[in-house]
Amino acid sequence: MKKVLIAYGSRTGNTEKMAEYIAEGIRFSGNDVELRKITEIKKGEELQGYDAYIFGSPTYHRDMIGTMKTFLFLAEKAGLEGKVGGAFGSYTHSGDAPGIILDTMQYVFKMAVSDLGSLRIKEAVIGTPDGMKACQDYGRSLGEQLNG
Ligand SMILES: Cc1cc2nc3c(=O)[nH]c(=O)nc-3n(C[C@H](O)[C@H](O)[C@H](O)COP(=O)(O)O)c2cc1C
């Protein structure tokens, strides 16, 4: 059984909901998952010991939230090279954040980002069966990738 960390920020709860659904998908794949808010992670050492990392941020002002930038500077020193990575976030019209985060994971942290790419879901869809399923499928597929 592999262990996945989902670390996310969310201002009004939409990205948090996505995080919960993605976690369900990872459990469906038979793997273990830990859900953490980025504001509660204070040290790089807290990022050790996972096989895969999925980072989540909504898009505000065509960017990730400020706390995610701070978190990524912390993650930079955590030695995530070669680990599997994914990213997600809620949005309404441009949805830039997940793609930018995944870029950083791939090109700066040298992580093995998932072929699934990043997952962005419009906030109006998250609470629907389709939105829930898209998140669960993302988690399940990423988990199945870890199963080899
Ligand atoms: C001030 C403000 C700026 C926003 N800027 C963007 C944006 O640039 N692009 C976008 O797609 N959504 C934008 N949104 C919409 C949010 O991404 C959306 O409400 C999202 O669901 C919030 O997620 P959260 O509940 O996890 O915080 C903005 C919302 C607010 C209130």
CATH number of the domain that 33 lies in? Answer: 3.40.50.360
Ligand 1 mutation pick, 10, 12, 59, 125, max ligand atoms within 8 A of CB: 59
pLDDT digits (tens, 9 = 90+) for 12-52: 999 999 999 999 999 999 999 999 999 999 999 999 999 99
Q: What Å distances lie between residue 22 and 14, 61, 88, CA to CA? A: 13, 25, 9
> Does 123 sit in the ligand 1 pocket, CB within 6 Å?
yes
Residue 17: domain span: 3-147
The answer to whether the CB of 75 falls within 8 A of the CB of 47 is yes
> Does 60 sit in the ligand 1 pocket, CB within 6 Å?
yes
Q: How many domains does the chain have?
A: 1
Residue 64: the pLDDT is 98
Residue 148: the pLDDT is 79
pLDDT digits (tens, 9 = 90+) for 80-129: 999 999 999 999 999 999 999 999 999 999 999 989 999 999 999 999 99
Nearest atom within ligand 1 for CA of residue 15: 26
Residue 143: the pLDDT is 96
Q: Give me the amino acid identity at 33.
A: V
Residues found in the chain = 148
**Starting from the edge strand earliest in sequence, which strands make up the sheet with 84-91, in order?**
32-37, 3-8, 52-56, 84-91, 112-122
pLDDT digits (tens, 9 = 90+) for 52-83: 999 999 999 999 999 999 999 999 999 999 99
Global pTM?
A: 0.98
CA-nearest residue, atom 20 of ligand 1: 91
Q: What is the 3-state secondary structure (H, E, C) of the chain?
A: CCEEEEEECCCCCHHHHHHHHHHHHHHHCCCEEEEEEHHHCCCHHHHCCCCEEEEECCEECCEECHHHHHHHHHHHCCCCCCCEEEEEEEECCCCCHHHHHHHHHHHHCCCEEEEEEEEEEEHHHHCCHHHHHHHHHHHHHHHHHHHC
